[in-house]
Amino acid sequence: MNQTRPDTAGHAPGYSPGRTLPLRVEFARQFRRRRTLVMFGLLLALPWILVVAFQFGPAGGQNGQNSLRLSDLATQGGLNFAAFALSVSAGFLLVVAVALFCGDTVASEASWSSLRYLLAAPVPRDRLLWHKLLVALTYSAAAVTVVPLMALLAGTLAFGWNDIRVPGTGEVIPAGDVLPKFALVIGYAMVSQLVVAALAFLLSVSTDSPLGAVGGAVGLVIVSSILQAVEALGSLREFLPTFWNTAWLDALSPQPEYGGMAKGVAISVAYSAVLIALAFRRFRRKDVVS
């Protein structure tokens, strides 16, 4: 970031702005936090909880032909199960995880008062924000990836490695063909969470309360989801940040359609670019009083 280059004259020996707050250090600072570990533990456990839930459920899934909903097809195989796990977690659990990693990152430092010592170290403000954002986004991406991957593992162990059956039509796509698409789906899920991440980050910069930042971002998702159910809003809904979140289902259909995903990426990138820029702008000028 092209922050005002601080004067380098008269600094302490060995100090260089470009070496402050290395990413490794920020990773280490965040990693041992209880909330990080608990969140990842939950995300890793979810697929196994679902597997157990399906094992205990009434065995109605075998008459296959009639019910072609995603949830009914979940036990068809590892890939189907992973798609199901992603669809049930993307709506809320992953939103909370992403909002947590990105909303908590600056606000928690402010609430611990450690932010002021980092700034006085001094870590240049843009650099501090940039590295915090990168680390938070990496943790978020890991959260989004870990659910479908663990579900793939759990589903394959529990239900076998089978070709994927598409919800709605019941068509079968070979597992080998769908694997690269699966990477695309995970990538899209990450991009579609970018708005949540950016908003949480902006709120994190603006408030000293980590809960407020996380809750604000989750609140936006809830409001947006409610609004998108109001069909009277017509095509205005297309510009809601959550509207395209399930568009990745199109990529798994026999005739993949990427129009919705393209729109989703467009919305997501546009909103998050502005929100992140606002976060930087605000933090540069902010009087740190925490």
Partner 1 sequence: MTFRGGRRAITGIVALAVLVTGALVWALWPAPAPPPGRDVTIPVLDGPAGDQRVTLDATFFAPPGLGSGGGRAPAVLLAHGFGGSKQSVRDQAERLAARGYAVLTWSARGFGRSTGQIALNSPDYEVKDVRQLVDWLARRPEVLLDRAGDPRVGIAGGSYGGSVALMAAAYDSRIDAIVPQITWYDLADALFPDAAGAGPANGVFKKMWAGLFFSSAADRLAPEGGLGAAGVAGVAAAAGGGTPAGAAPPPTPDQVRCGRFLPAICDMYQTVAATGRATPEAIDLLRRSSPVSVQGRIAIPTLLIQGRRDSLFPLSHADANARVIAATGAPVEVAWYAGGHDGGDPESDWVFDRTVGWFDQWLRHSARGGTPTKSSPDGAAFTVTRDGGRDPGTRRPVLLHATAGRYPGLGGTDRTTVDVAGSPQPVANPPGGSPAAISSVPGFGGLLGGAGGSVSPALDIPGQAAAFESAPLAGAVQVTGSPSITIRVRGTGDTTLFGKLYDVSGGALPMLPSNLVAPFRVTATEAGTPVTVTLPAIDWRFDAGHRLRVVFSTTDLGYATPAAPAVHTVELASPRLTLPRDPALTAPSTGPVWWTWALPLAGLLAAAVLLLTGRAPRGAGRTDEHLADVPLVITGLGKRYRDGEKAVDDLSIRVERGQVLGLLGPNGAGKTTTLRMLMGLIHPDEGEIRIFGTRVLPGAAVLSRLGSFVEGPGFLPHLSGRANLELYWRATGRPAADARLEEALEIAGLGAALDRAVRTYSQGMRQRLAIAQAMLGLPDLLVLDEPANGLDPPQIAEMRRVLRAYAEGGRTVIVSSHLLGEVEQTCSHVVVMHRGRLVSAGPVGELLTATAPANGSGTRLEDVFLDLIGEGR
Helix (H, G, I), strand (E, B) or coil at 216: helix
Structure tokens at 32: 């041992």
Point out which span in 49-57, 78-86, 92-100, 272-280 binds partner 1 (CB under 8 A): 272-280
Asked if residue 259 binds partner 1 (CB under 8 A), the reply is yes
What x/- string results for residues 22 through 61 when contact with partner 1 is judged by CB under 8 A? x--x--xx--xxx---------------------------
**CB nearer to partner 1: pick between 145 and 253:** 253
What is the smallest separation between the CB atom of 46 and partner 1, expressed in angstroms?
22
Please list every residue from 182 through 211 that binds partner 1, using CB under 8 A: 203, 205-209
Near partner 1 by CB under 8 A: residue from 38, 67, 71, 257: 257
Asked if residue 91 binds partner 1 (CB under 8 A), the reply is no
Asked if residue 121 binds partner 1 (CB under 8 A), the reply is yes
Tell me the HSE value of 21 on the side-chain side, using a 13 A CA sphere: 25
What per-residue string of b and e applies to 129-144 under the rule 16 or more CB within 10 Å gives b?
bbbbbebbbebbbebb
Helix ranges, the chain (H):
23-31, 34-56, 78-90, 93-112, 114-119, 125-159, 175-192, 194-206, 210-228, 259-285
Asked if residue 278 binds partner 1 (CB under 8 A), the reply is yes
Near partner 1 by CB under 8 A: residue from 115, 141, 143, 154: 115
**CB nearer to partner 1: pick between 138 and 238:** 238
Near partner 1 by CB under 8 A: residue from 59, 120, 176, 180: 120
Which of 192, 186, 207, 183 is CA-nearest to residue 290? 207
DSSP-assigned states of every residue in 144-176: HHHHHHHHHHHHHHHH-S--EE-TTT--EE-HH
